[in-house]
Amino acid sequence: MHPALLGILTIVIGVLVCISYFYVSNWVLDHLIFPAKGSKAGRNINRANMIRPWLFLFPALLALSVYLVYPIFETLFLSLTERLPGNHYVWAGTDNYTQMLADPKFAEALVNNLLWLLIVPAFSTAFGLLAAQLTDRISWGNAAKSFIFMPMAISFVGASVIWKLVYDARPAGQEQIGILNAIYTAVTQNDAQTWLTQMPWNSFLLMVVLIWIQTGFAMVILSAALRGIPEETVEAAVVDGANPFQIFFHIKVPQIMPTILVVWTTITVTVLKVFDIVYAMTNGQWETQVLANYMFDKLFRANDWGVGSAAAMVIMLLVTPILLLNIRNARREME
């Protein structure tokens, strides 16, 4: 069957199953379990209304249990065991974690991830805020926003291929197709540089790709927040003699700080899970390894399910507090 038809059929079947589930479950609840007739009709209606929300929540809770809760406990189990031939498991305790912590590659991945955490969210949020402020002050701001946001429509792998061409290096005597080397060789008259192999700068060149992608996301969210600032506040600052810089840093930024924190934490979670960019551009070579790539190498290349699962648990532990902070900030902003 053609993939498009298969997709349409899957959607139709999924919708029909959901409709059938809600219809049948409500009918059973109202007619068989708590019938709205007889002397207990009022009590039955109240009981049915108490249970009914859970009927609607059940599919979502089931999906979360199957695709989120179960994998977490399964990964935790695998991180505490050793997989033997024939899919047999023996208890290993914390041996996998000890082995992982003693691995120089894990230390490299952890340090690189910390660098990504320090640089990418900060620059993405700052550039997004700058773009949001500047595009709101020009007549062709909407067109500029479209161009800045466009990288968000590109997959991480697609963006990696684009930037790999930007960093491309050809042997001496050949025309440079990489923009960076074309400029470098024209200005310095030196041979092209293999930028992605030069440590430690190659890690920063990889970060540029994610900053390029996430700036558009930050810009859209922060632009909406800036437009939500009451005009009276800005006008009062102008009347008091505040210049544009003072208005921006002392009036606007403090008022949208909760939104800035939400953007920052969202990008931080993305950074902790970054895999595609490193895998597509350097494959973790030349000291560019990050935690997700380390986990992938252990699971699917070394076939070491214990250490790979331990690395997955470390990533989850790093992501969880940031997610909780993001949820709390989002709730505060809604209030």
Reading the block at residue 201, the tokens are 């700068």
DSSP 191: P
Reading the block at residue 67, the tokens are 């695709």
Say if residue 188 is in the same domain as residue 301.
yes
Look up the pTM and report it: 0.80
Q: Considering the domain boundaries, does residue 35 fall inside one? A: yes
Q: Considering the domain boundaries, does residue 92 fall inside one? A: no
User: Comparing C-alpha atoms, which of 229, 247, 226, 228 is closest to residue 238?
Assistant: 247
Roughly what angle, to the nearest 10 degrees, separates helices 156-166 and 201-227? 130
Say if residue 110 is in the same domain as residue 14.
no
Instruction: Give me the pLDDT at residue 43, please.
Output: 67
Instruction: Give me the pLDDT at residue 213, please.
Output: 92
User: Comparing C-alpha atoms, which of 302, 305, 264 is closest to residue 284?
Assistant: 302
DSSP 152: G
**Residue 91: enclosing H or E segment and its boundaries?**
strand 88-91
In the listed set 46, 79, 112, which residue is the last one of a domain according to the structure? 79
In the listed set 79, 108, 123, which residue is the last one of a domain according to the structure? 79
Instruction: Give me the pLDDT at residue 239, please.
Output: 81
Residue with tokens 């809604």: 334
Say if residue 157 is in the same domain as residue 226.
yes
In the listed set 50, 79, 108, which residue is the last one of a domain according to the structure? 79
Instruction: Give me the pLDDT at residue 1, please.
Output: 67
CA angle 309, 281, 299 (to 5 degrees): 15
Q: How far is Cα 114 from Cα 137, in angstroms, rounded to an integer?
A: 35
User: Comparing C-alpha atoms, which of 311, 270, 115, 291 is closest to residue 202?
Assistant: 115
Say if residue 301 is in the same domain as residue 236.
yes
Residue-range definition of the domain harbouring residue 57 = 3-79
Q: How far is Cα 176 from Cα 329, in angstroms, rounded to an integer?
A: 47
Q: How far is Cα 75 from Cα 69, in angstroms, rounded to an integer?
A: 10
Q: Considering the domain boundaries, does residue 134 fall inside one? A: yes
Instruction: Give me the pLDDT at residue 82, please.
Output: 84
CATH number of the domain to which 182 belongs: 1.10.3720.10
Instruction: Give me the pLDDT at residue 241, please.
Output: 80
Say if residue 297 is in the same domain as residue 261.
yes
Residues 6+ apart with CB under 8 A from 127: 211, 215, 218, 219
Q: Considering the domain boundaries, does residue 120 fall inside one? A: yes
Structurally, the chain folds into a number of domains equal to 2
Q: Considering the domain boundaries, does residue 301 fall inside one? A: yes
Q: Considering the domain boundaries, does residue 111 fall inside one? A: yes
Say if residue 243 is in the same domain as residue 299.
yes
C-alpha dihedral sign at 146, 148, 150, 152: negative
Reading the block at residue 291, the tokens are 């935690």
Instruction: Give me the pLDDT at residue 228, please.
Output: 83
Instruction: Give me the pLDDT at residue 30, please.
Output: 76
Q: Considering the domain boundaries, does residue 88 fall inside one? A: no
Q: Convert the pLDDT of each residue in 48-104 to its tens digit.
A: 778 888 888 888 888 888 888 888 898 888 888 887 776 777 888 888 899 899 989
Task: Report the SS3 class of residue 268.
Answer: helix
Reading the block at residue 265, the tokens are 């934490």
Say if residue 30 is in the same domain as residue 158.
no
Reading the block at residue 11, the tokens are 């959607």
Residues 6+ apart with CB under 8 A from 28: none
Residues of the chain with pLDDT below 50 are none
Q: Considering the domain boundaries, does residue 86 fall inside one? A: no
